[in-house]
Structure 1
């Protein structure tokens, strides 16, 4: 059986487009074996505070772009974790789905895990469970890939191992991949472009591209499931 495959590094409560990609494929690979990006979204995201997007940050120990994501450790002490929870609580305690969502977030954020990659892997699986996403999830470091491959060649190798017929990537990576190279391997290449998604927040003016936390706080699960299909696949 040929499969639809998606591959991406893990992020800290990423925006809805990330979950659209997971939902759009049969098999999703978490790239925990790539370099950590300082100043990126791997350990932080934005939530709505007083009508504006504000960062929540997962504190890290000696983070470096010279390390892989699965080599980074979290400063997972009660003080740091409680700061994140209190910030979320303060921002969303009046949101319509706070009572349903906050326990889910609390379970994720307070997990007893200091390895960043494993922490985010658990986060991804728990949010998928809440959103009823049934895609099979793999971890790149546990897949026996051809050694020495990088970039597109490594992605193609993973796709071949997972018997992909179609590889779907986020639209932001469009310049990184070649249709010809995928076609040569008997696979199609498409890019997921998220449609404009709006919903009622606490203020009249909508603030886009916030963490999935914001989507979950202001929308019932059935509505979010509909949002997961609001995208197009482009060449």
Structure 2
């Protein structure tokens, strides 16, 4: 029996392409046991971009400092900074004039009610909220509960084997290090995501792609965002 699986870190309010893979998958493995990376262009786990009158800007979670190598599932949210209020104020300032602000903002505000101690828990809450708003349904399991073994390709193959995957649906960013022949030897076919970023009505000038999914929701509303997502599949 065929089973397609997606593996990805639990990113904060991810972009549309994150959810587009879910439309063609049977399960999502939340890669929460790997190292938390910050300070590089790959640092999406605790932040994503929104659009402002002066261009792109990060919407960022404040986290406690942790030793290098700390896994994502052990990173704690800061308790000394009111990052929740800062985030909500930033969204209000830049999207209050968006056509569907009043429809979407109450759901986003509820995300920040009594945030949990751990960043991964909060991020998964944000992913579940966006899945609800975008009408995407997919079961998920944390990699940390699967006793993962190995690293890189071998670690992915190990996780996929433990959930009975026959197909691994991968983002194109992994092409540089992916070795499909290793997956084939394990009886798993690597399938590459096909995603053309949609262009939709957006505030503040020329269209900017690859922003948080919050951007399309505020600008286009829930019903249209669901349709826009499906037109990319």
The alignment's TM-score, normalised by the length of structure 1, stands at: 0.91
Aligned residue in 2 for 1:153 = 154
Name the stretch that deviates more: 201-210 or 169-178.
201-210
Pair 1:224–1:76, CA change in 2 (3 A): farther
Aligned equivalents of 1:132, 1:77: Cα separation in 2: 35
1:98 aligns with 2:112: no
Q: How does 1:5-154 map to 2 (within 5 A)?
A: 5-39=5-39, 40-50=43-53, 52-76=55-79, 79-145=82-148, 147=149, 149-154=150-155
CA RMSD of aligned residues (A): 1.8
Deviation at 1:77, TM superposition (A): 5.9
Pair 1:93–1:77, CA change in 2 (3 A): farther
Cα deviation code 1:69-112 (max 9, x no counterpart)? 11111014673211110110111111111112111111112343
Deviation at 1:19, TM superposition (A): 1.1
Aligned equivalents of 1:186, 1:76: Cα separation in 2: 46
Whether the 8 Å CA contact 2:62–2:81 is kept in 1: the answer is: no
Aligned equivalents of 1:63, 1:215: Cα separation in 2: 33
Whether the 8 Å CA contact 2:4–2:26 is kept in 1: the answer is: yes
Pairs aligned (count): 230
* 5+ residue gaps, structure 1: none
The alignment's TM-score, normalised by the length of structure 2, stands at: 0.91
Cα deviation code 1:164-198 (max 9, x no counterpart)? 12101111011222221111122210121420311
Aligned equivalents of 1:38, 1:229: Cα separation in 2: 31
Pair 1:111–1:2, CA change in 2 (3 A): farther
* 5+ residue gaps, structure 2: none
Cα deviation code 1:107-146 (max 9, x no counterpart)? 112343011111111211121112111111111112244x
Pair 1:85–1:231, CA change in 2 (3 A): same
SS of equivalent residue, structure 1 residue 216: helix
SS of equivalent residue, structure 1 residue 60: coil
Pair 1:4–1:63, CA change in 2 (3 A): same
